[in-house]
Amino acid sequence: MIHVTRKVHFNAAHRLHNPAKSAEWNAKTYGSCNHENWHGHNYVLEVTVAGMPDPDTGYVMDLGKLRDILDEKILSKCDHRNLNLDVPFLQGIIPSSENLVIAFYHEIRDDVERAAAPGARLSCVKLFETERNVAEYRPNE
């Protein structure tokens, strides 16, 4: 199995807040990430496709096509946006890194797997919120 990865970055604001909980609960649970006027991150997103190379191209996934999918499906919608307010496919979720990797996976999976080599699959979506805070979604593990 070969794994190929494309890395992109975007900047966005968000607020971690559960509207079903009290202000006190949110402040205690999320700390400064619950700031009512939002806060931002310089996110790094890594998307990995796993499979065997197509015999005609030698590619598991043309990384230019993967770049284009990420530009259309994630960056154009999330870069320099408020993830709580501006991104339709994120509506109704708490935009933690954990929830974001799941949402990103579902937003791109079909397009990635259509463009990849036969039998290849979207293997991992990894989001660096900071250099020290990372979430990965690997649905097939």
Instruction: Give catalytic residues, as residue numbers.
Output: 33, 80, 129
3-state secondary structure the chain: CEEEEEEEEEEEEECCCCCCCCHHHHHHHHHHHHCCCCEEEEEEEEEEEEECCCCCCCCCCCHHHHHHHHHHHHHHHHCCEECCCCCHHHCCCCCCHHHHHHHHHHHHHHHHHHHCCCCCEEEEEEEECCCCCEEEECCCC
